[in-house]
Amino acid sequence: MKEQQLLFERTFLSPYAMKSEDSKGRLKAIEPCPLRTEFQRDRDRIIHCRAFRRLKHKTQVFLSPQDDHFRTRLTHTLEVTQIARTVSRALLLNEDLTEAIGLGHDLGHTPFGHAGERVLNALTGHFYHNEQSLRVVDVLENNGEGLNLTYEVRDGILQHKSSGNPCTLEGKVVSYADRIAYINHDISDAVRAGVLKPEDIPADCREFLGNTKGERINTLVLDIVEHSYQKDKISLSDQGDYYMNKLRDFMFERVYFSEAGAELQQKADRLLSMLFKFFIAHPDEIPSELRWGDLQTNVCDYLAGMTDNYAVHTAKKIFLPDSE
């Protein structure tokens, strides 16, 4: 029962772990669950929400790949969560809180990956997927009622970017796991797509981190655990931090901002720009459940919630003549 789980947390978790019974609570109070802790309830609410299901049809890096083995935003989310849980378990942190943050961290991501995010940011002057993810769980799900998550999960979702400062160690673990996951699985996808060859990875990164995705992830996970165990902060060693960031910079140069990446950016720019301007001019075409607040926010909510396929389908429906 739940009392045994709470006792386990008090007895066996690190003194720096967030205990479920110490949560700052929810925006709206609800009746306690007899079986689940509050963070377990948050995890379940995220898994069952519509935004989570849509992640399976949102681009990670490569737009509409023909190969079924390329990552999507959903598989990225699952890989982040797995890495984060491994680290939290080793550090005796709260795995349920870690899992909830990991599963919810990208719920507000746009179609077409970060290319779509940059387009909406350029069109509006301010759009970031972490803020949109918080808006999804606070407002957009359940027809404007939101998921009513705990403070710690909401904070972890908002602060998961590398520039963020989560209030819990579990949130910080997810932030590191996000970077570890996307750098390494994007390398794998780039090799599959023919954009990279394994030997293109800087030699010193391969020497320190390893030659395969599994070796690199394992090196970074072990490094975090070794340098964070029984401490009140989460960190890599100086070497681990250096080589992870060097590998990240390499990916930005060779993949994310490459010629192939620029092509994706241009396509996302054209398509989302056309849709944005259309819905600004035709607000009645926005679904009624998304019409509250100012018009620009409504349009962003609608576009950011679209899957890649739905955005393309919507553009064809609006801008191309009916062939029937």
pLDDT tens for each residue of 46-58:
999 999 999 999 9
> What is d(CA 221, CA 175) in angstroms, rounded to the nearest whole number?
13
Report the alpha-carbon distance of residue 214 to residue 198 in Å, rounded.
13
pLDDT at residue 59 in the model: 85
- What is the number of domains present in the chain? 1
174: in domain: yes
Higher pLDDT, 20 or 261: 20
**pLDDT band with cut points at 50, 70 and 90 for residue 321:** confident
Measured CA to CA, the distance from residue 314 to residue 306 in angstroms comes to 9
Q: Is residue 259 part of a domain?
A: yes
Q: Which of 313, 315, 312 is nearest to 112 (CA)?
A: 312
pTM of the model: 0.95
Q: Is residue 135 part of a domain?
A: yes
- Identify whether 199 is part of a domain: yes
What pLDDT digit, counting tens, does each position of 85-144 carry? 999 999 999 999 999 999 999 999 999 988 899 999 999 999 999 999 999 999 999 988
**10: in domain:** no
User: What CATH number has the domain bearing residue 259?
Assistant: 1.10.3210.10
Tell me the residue range of the domain where 107 lies.
Answer: 38-310
Has residue 19 been placed in a domain? no
pLDDT in tens, 224-245: 999 999 999 999 999 999 999 9
pLDDT reported for residue 62:
63
Question: Which one, of 230, 187, 239, lies nearest residue 62 by Cα?
Answer: 187
Please report the pLDDT score of residue 69 as a whole number. 81
Is 219 a member of any domain?
yes
Pick the closest to residue 148 from 22, 33, 38, 55 (CA basis).
38
pLDDT band at 323 (very low <50, low <70, confident <90, very high): low
pLDDT tens, residue by residue, 74-98 = 999 999 999 999 999 999 999 999 9
Half-sphere exposure of 62 (CA within 13 A, CB side): 19
The 10s digit of each residue's pLDDT in 283-310 is: 999 998 888 889 999 999 999 999 999 9
> Under DSSP, is residue 107 helix (H, G, I), strand (E, B) or coil?
coil
Cβ-based burial of 305 (10 A; exposed 0-12, middle 13-18, buried ≥19):
buried
257 pLDDT tier (thresholds 50, 70, 90): confident
- Residue 198 counted as domain residue: yes
Closest CA to 140 of 75, 54, 31: 54
